[in-house]
């Protein structure tokens, strides 16, 4: 990627990829500059410092996560289909597990992850309630299954399949 064409979004995209691949230690100017093939001066052209970059990266991820929920709320399709789709979106987010690991040692990250979790869980609960399932334990259990399986080393596909199976089981209780 030629350095003249780099934008803040390019750096954030590279940061999310490196976070997923390597962890938060990769979210520094020099390692990211190597990844995008430029100097760290280009990084500092776009971001005041590393904390400013990390803040922008978190804001971007949060906005993407909230945007995905809003898109599903507005999407055509049945509530069961949208319940399954949120599982696909979360399971297929490569940065999700890395952000959760980082949140264990960074309160700013923990706050953002908590806000995203609350929004996603609220979405699941609203769809279940629309189907007549009002016990909030079901939405908590479904979301915890999805997130927890990724945290315990299961693949994206395994987490997605288990979540969908649990949603199908919950829906069968209606």
What confidence tens digit (pLDDT) does each residue in 14-66 have? Answer: 999 999 999 999 999 999 999 999 999 999 999 999 999 999 999 999 999 99
Residue 30 in any domain: the answer is yes
The count of domains in the chain is: 2
69 and 26, same domain (yes or no): no
141 and 161, same domain (yes or no): yes
Average pLDDT of span 152-164 = 91
72 and 136, same domain (yes or no): yes
Residue 53 in any domain: the answer is no
Q: Tell me the pTM.
A: 0.89
Residue 166 in any domain: the answer is yes
78 and 153, same domain (yes or no): yes
Domain of residue 140 covers 58-172
pLDDT score, position 151: 87
| Residue 4 pLDDT level (bands cut at 50, 70, 90) | low
Report the alpha-carbon distance of residue 174 to residue 22 in Å, rounded: 43
119 and 43, same domain (yes or no): no
Whether pLDDT at 2 is above 80: no
35 and 66, same domain (yes or no): no
CB 166 within 8 A of CB 83: no
């Amino acid at each position: 990627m030629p350095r003249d064409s780099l934008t803040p979004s390019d750096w954030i995209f590279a940061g999310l990829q490196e976070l997923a691949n390597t962890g938060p230690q990769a979210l520094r100017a020099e390692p990211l500059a190597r990844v995008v093939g430029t100097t760290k001066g280009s990084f500092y052209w776009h971001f005041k410092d590393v904390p400013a970059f990390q803040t922008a990266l978190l804001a971007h991820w949060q906005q993407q996560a909230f945007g995905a929920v809003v898109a599903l709320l507005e999407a055509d399709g049945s509530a069961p289909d949208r319940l399954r789709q949120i599982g696909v979106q979360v399971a297929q987010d490569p940065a999700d597990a890395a952000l959760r690991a980082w949140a264990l040692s960074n309160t700013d990250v923990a706050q953002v992850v908590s806000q995203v979790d609350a929004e996603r869980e609220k979405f699941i609960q609203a769809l279940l309630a629309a189907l007549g399932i009002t016990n909030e334990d079901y939405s908590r259990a479904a979301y915890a299954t999805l997130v927890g399986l990724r945290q315990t080393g299961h693949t994206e596909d395994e987490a997605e399949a288990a979540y969908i199976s649990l949603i199908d089981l919950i829906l069968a209780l209606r």
